[in-house]
Amino acid sequence: MPNTDNKYGTFNKKSTIFTQKTEFTPLRTFDSVNEALSHFFTPQAIAVYNECSTQIQWALMENSTKLHLTISFGTKGGNVSPTNDWAEQYNIRKRSLMDADNWTINGFTHQETNNHLF
């Protein structure tokens, strides 16, 4: 579940489309967003998305073979250090999991898009 720090608005909105790599396996059709999330990301990665985002929405696309994400981050406000605010916490925690080879389960490509879900 996303955090609720939206008192000062949300920032850094971005949308990404995740596409399966199919060099060695056939294209998979997902029955739900949760199935797609579990295909692409580790439980720890999903937790980072959920804990650090203030707004987040996922959707299946292209006949339920791709995963679309729109995410934005609020701020904790006050005199919080930028490294302790949500967007940077997302970056730090993501990098830590990636360095430990614990971010993804199956390979994918990703592309930024201006087509936001919210």
pLDDT at position 26, please? 87
Domain segments of the chain as ranges = 10-113
**pLDDT per position as a tens digit, 4-14:** 989 888 999 99
> What is the residue whose two structure tokens read 């299946």?
60
- What is the topology classification, in CATH, of domain 10-113? Alpha-Beta Plaits (3.30.70)
- CB burial string 52-65: b at 16+ within 10 A, e below: bbbbbbbebeeebe
Is 24 a residue whose pLDDT tops 90?
A: no
pLDDT at position 110, please? 97
**pLDDT per position as a tens digit, 38-95:** 999 999 999 999 999 999 999 999 999 999 999 999 999 888 898 999 999 999 999 9
- Residue 113 pairs with which residues in a beta bridge? 15
Averaged pLDDT, 102-115: 96
pLDDT at position 53, please? 97
Rg of the Cα trace of the chain?
A: 15
105 contacts: CB under 8 Å, gap ≥ 6? 38, 39, 40, 41, 42
pTM of the model: 0.93
**pLDDT per position as a tens digit, 92-106:** 999 999 999 999 999
Longest dimension (CA), the chain: 50
pLDDT at position 77, please? 86
